[in-house]
Structure 1
Amino acid sequence: MNKYDVIIAGGGAVGAACAYFLSRDTDLKIALVDIKKAGNASRASAGGLWAIGESVGLGCGVIFFKTLSKLHSEAQGEEIPTMRPHQLPDCFFEFALKSNAMYPELYEELRNKHSVDFKFERTGLKFIMYNREDELYADQIVSGIPHLRDQIRWLDAKQLKEEEPFVTPDAIGAIDFICDHQVNPYRLVESYTEAARQNGVELFLNTEIQQVLREGKRVVGIQTASGELRCDTLVNATGAWANSLFKQATGRDMPVYPVKGQIVLSERMPKIMNGCISTSDCYIAQKDNGEILIGSSTEEKGFDTTNSLDKIQELSRGAMKCLPILNESNIKRCWAGLRPGTPDELPILGKVPGVEGYLNACGHFRTGILTSAITGKLITELVTEQPTSIDLTPFSVARFFDEPA
């Protein structure tokens, strides 16, 4: 019988990070079990480490906010609708910023000790403003996070042109989140996985979990097509599919569901961006190989991973509006990924009351790449029964239940 201290279900950014941190910081016997499914979120990510941008709602793809239909109404004495950026609570800011701060050291650690490179780039994230409406929106964002003013720069049109010469001359300025950088998301998952393998983690790739094994209130392993794998602790990092595993482990449902995001990728281009960009239409990131990644829609359509012409056109128009030079490029490919959404857009982490031998590491929605590092650290702390680096109460699955799970 194959017996492990920890089995991690799911080999995306979060699951692979858990495998790496557990294998780095403990002597436990660990298995990582994964099967690739259409819509894997890690491979649909831009790779943005947008700790502030995501926390205030600017990294989510097409940005929705209340439109001011008459900008002159203020002069006429009419009430102006309040523009409220979709800002996440303080607990998420702490979660995201602590994870973001781990990446420079993690980058050097993985390169030097494991010879893997996830292409960490210090880019910042600029929100481009086209008009007074965008300016009011930016104002609301900055006024809502006074404790992070030292991480934000205001750029007027001239400064923006100097820093991003290919941005449309119609732009009136930008706000720049100077600590929000980027990685290559494919390389990050591969780096975590390879480093974990080098540390002794056993990889069960292309292996589907058929059933969670329980004895009373304790999870004791999983059943796969190749046989049973037993464990003391099962970590659920299965992304948009996490509820299926949770239900088998606990007998209940948790609200993790797929949120589709469509992506457009250009052919390789010379360097036309010095940082990542977000607008009221899309986000844009130039990757280390020269390709331009444009994202993304936000759609609740179940596990559908098809592309639709309307969304691809919408994203492409938004990108060309911001960077007119993209009119000269070709689309290389389009795809869709499934983010693991939750009703409050916060991840679900930690223990489940009344269930032993099981931990959640799921529901990261659009921030799995960014927050994979802190999640790996937190899961390691839970497994080894150490105090956690942050309070996990706001992230417990119990918040969704009237009674303890």
Structure 2
Amino acid sequence: MNFDVIVAGGGVIGASCAYHLSRRRDLRVALVDYKRPGNASRASAGGLWAIGESVGLGCGVIFFRKLRAGLHAASDQSRLVSADAPHILPKSFFDFALASNARYPALYRELKDEHGMDFKFERTGLKYVIYDDEDRRYAEHIHASIPHLSDEVCWLDQVALRTEEPFINPEAQGALEFLCDHQVNPFRLTDAYTEGARRQGATVLYHTDVVDVLKVGSRVTGIRTASGKTLSCNVLINAAGAWASDLSVMATGVPIPVKPVKGQIVLSERLPRVIRGCLSTSDCYIAQKDNGEVLIGSTTEDKGYDVSTTYPEIAGLVQGALRCLPGLSDLHVKRTWSGLRPGTPDELPILGRADGVDGYLHACGHFRTGILTSAITGEIIDALVHDEMPPVDIDAFAASRFA
């Protein structure tokens, strides 16, 4: 089978690449996917937290609470990814994340109207709940670091927070709210990209494991699958998530520093509306979906490809949620699971061409922001394949920064 472009990896990043590449209908595009335990796109909260994630909330601030509690002893070090988290990411990532976030309203209408796919885009905002002076100091640090985004950030005192979120713990002192940080359904978003790509003429090949990358000289010419099939292409996109380094070795002979970072999640039964927006605390984050389910996440664990769920971590998330919303004490847990985020040492993605190899592009290493940044990543890859200028500067995301 012959294609112009093969996208390896059917998670949200790969699916977005296939969707955007097939939009012009001028290329033969194939999306190949092999489901492995721990697929990150289906273990996500679905947060479009452009500012929140860029300033170290989400999983980062949970990590901060653990450090404060003294859990950085040797016995616990293996669970944690970096000793300086949380931290505010560089301007290049802010620009990247905010540009992607801004595309979601139009993307939502496009996929829904043209392809009948509703990924449940909800304007919720994100509130960082402040319990104590330490939380407040961190919130003040965040606020002082992003003066250019003052229109998208507001302070809520205790009364305003209780008005906005009447079920929140009355001991909470207030919150820092990010007005442009919303949410989607991550399952539906990945499916929407995939179905949109298929309707635009892309070939979707499930159960297709890439075992070799074929080259002539320095140019990629195709892939070989575990079933022995050869698929030819002019360009190969590495969107293999937590397994991206394996594909990089096949294509370039050089690994890239992408490794799995486990996150465990709790999902409740359907409940009446208990929160109006998404919440981040120093213990957990909480998001209620449009069907009433409450999602509680997430741990940050360096455990390789282990996708087991463990009682201490799940219990910690539940206790954090109860601290924030005491009324959840009678909730029934529907299920728990874990996913493997594709982490990099600096928490930035790896995008663009690889030195010394033609016909190969990276689209990987998005860590915990793959859902958020999938929209702009698809546009970037489409531009690069067509030898056009990407919509945002991607120099900071080149693989060569790790050389």
* Common topology (TM > 0.5): yes
Shift of the alpha carbon at 1:96?
A: 0.2
Q: Distance in 1 between matches of 2:85 and 2:152?
A: 20
Larger mean Cα displacement after TM superposition, 210-219 or 375-384: 210-219
Q: Secondary structure at the match of 1:57?
A: coil
Q: Distance in 2 between matches of 1:274 and 1:54?
A: 19
Q: 1:195 to 1:101 in 2, by over 3 A?
A: same
Larger mean Cα displacement after TM superposition, 19-28 or 335-344: 19-28
Give CA-to-partner distance per residue, 1:318-348, whole Å, 9 cap, x none. Answer: 0000001110101111111000000000000
Aligned residues: 387
Runs of 5+ in structure 1 lacking a partner?
A: 70-82
Given that 1:265 and 1:332 are in contact with CA atoms closer than 8 Å, whether structure 2 keeps it comes out as yes
Given that 1:262 and 1:334 are in contact with CA atoms closer than 8 Å, whether structure 2 keeps it comes out as yes
- 1:237 counterpart = 2:239: yes
Give CA-to-partner distance per residue, 1:87-146, whole Å, 9 cap, x none. Answer: 000000000000000000000011111111000000000000011111111000000111
Give CA-to-partner distance per residue, 1:7-48, whole Å, 9 cap, x none. Answer: 000000000000001111341000000011100000110000
| Residue equivalent to 2:257 | 255
Percent of residue pairs bearing the same amino acid type: 59
| Residue equivalent to 2:181 | 180
Question: Superposition pairs for residues 195-344 of structure 1, below 5 Å?
Answer: 195-224=196-225, 225=227, 227-344=229-346
Given that 1:84 and 1:140 are in contact with CA atoms closer than 8 Å, whether structure 2 keeps it comes out as no
Q: Distance in 1 between matches of 2:397 and 2:96?
A: 10
Give CA-to-partner distance per residue, 1:343-376, whole Å, 9 cap, x none. Answer: 0000000000110010000000000000000000
Give the counterpart letter for 2:358 in structure 1: E
Q: Secondary structure at the match of 1:325?
A: helix
Given that 2:63 and 2:300 are in contact with CA atoms closer than 8 Å, whether structure 1 keeps it comes out as no
Shift of the alpha carbon at 1:84?
A: 8.6
TM-score normalised by structure 2 residue count: 0.94
Give the counterpart letter for 1:3 in structure 2: N
Given that 1:85 and 1:141 are in contact with CA atoms closer than 8 Å, whether structure 2 keeps it comes out as no
Give CA-to-partner distance per residue, 1:160-194, whole Å, 9 cap, x none. Answer: 01110111101010010000000000000000000
- 1:92 counterpart = 2:74: no
Larger mean Cα displacement after TM superposition, 211-220 or 332-341: 211-220
Question: Superposition pairs for residues 56-135 of structure 1, below 5 Å?
Answer: 56-60=55-59, 62-64=62-64, 67=68, 85-135=86-136
| Residue equivalent to 1:353 | 355
Shift of the alpha carbon at 1:67?
A: 3.9
Q: Distance in 1 between matches of 2:55 and 2:63?
A: 11
Q: Distance in 2 between matches of 1:226 and 1:118?
A: 35
| Residue equivalent to 1:389 | 391
Shift of the alpha carbon at 1:214?
A: 1.2
Given that 2:284 and 2:320 are in contact with CA atoms closer than 8 Å, whether structure 1 keeps it comes out as yes
Given that 1:49 and 1:182 are in contact with CA atoms closer than 8 Å, whether structure 2 keeps it comes out as yes
Given that 1:84 and 1:137 are in contact with CA atoms closer than 8 Å, whether structure 2 keeps it comes out as no
Shift of the alpha carbon at 1:68?
A: 9.9
Q: Secondary structure at the match of 1:353?
A: coil
Given that 1:240 and 1:339 are in contact with CA atoms closer than 8 Å, whether structure 2 keeps it comes out as yes
Give the counterpart letter for 1:374 in structure 2: I
| Residue equivalent to 2:78 | none
Q: Distance in 2 between matches of 1:68 and 1:133?
A: 12
Give the counterpart letter for 1:227 in structure 2: K
Q: Secondary structure at the match of 2:233?
A: strand
Q: Distance in 2 between matches of 1:138 and 1:238?
A: 35
Q: Distance in 2 between matches of 1:68 and 1:200?
A: 53
Larger mean Cα displacement after TM superposition, 378-387 or 215-224: 215-224
Shift of the alpha carbon at 1:249?
A: 0.3
Q: Secondary structure at the match of 1:315?
A: helix
Given that 1:20 and 1:376 are in contact with CA atoms closer than 8 Å, whether structure 2 keeps it comes out as yes
Give the counterpart letter for 2:178 in structure 1: F
Larger mean Cα displacement after TM superposition, 4-13 or 208-217: 208-217
| Residue equivalent to 1:74 | none
- 1:400 counterpart = 2:396: no
Q: Distance in 2 between matches of 1:119 and 1:85?
A: 29
Shift of the alpha carbon at 1:226?
A: 5.1
Where do 4+ consecutive residues of structure 1 move more than 6 Å? none
Given that 1:268 and 1:290 are in contact with CA atoms closer than 8 Å, whether structure 2 keeps it comes out as yes
Q: Distance in 1 between matches of 2:131 and 2:367?
A: 28
Give the counterpart letter for 1:12 in structure 2: G
Q: Secondary structure at the match of 1:4?
A: coil
| Residue equivalent to 1:3 | 2
Given that 1:85 and 1:137 are in contact with CA atoms closer than 8 Å, whether structure 2 keeps it comes out as no
Shift of the alpha carbon at 1:211?
A: 1.1
Given that 2:131 and 2:173 are in contact with CA atoms closer than 8 Å, whether structure 1 keeps it comes out as yes
Given that 1:10 and 1:236 are in contact with CA atoms closer than 8 Å, whether structure 2 keeps it comes out as yes
Give the counterpart letter for 2:159 in structure 1: K
| Residue equivalent to 1:17 | 16
| Residue equivalent to 2:167 | 166
Given that 2:278 and 2:286 are in contact with CA atoms closer than 8 Å, whether structure 1 keeps it comes out as yes
Q: Distance in 1 between matches of 2:326 and 2:25?
A: 51
Given that 2:127 and 2:279 are in contact with CA atoms closer than 8 Å, whether structure 1 keeps it comes out as yes
Larger mean Cα displacement after TM superposition, 355-364 or 222-231: 222-231
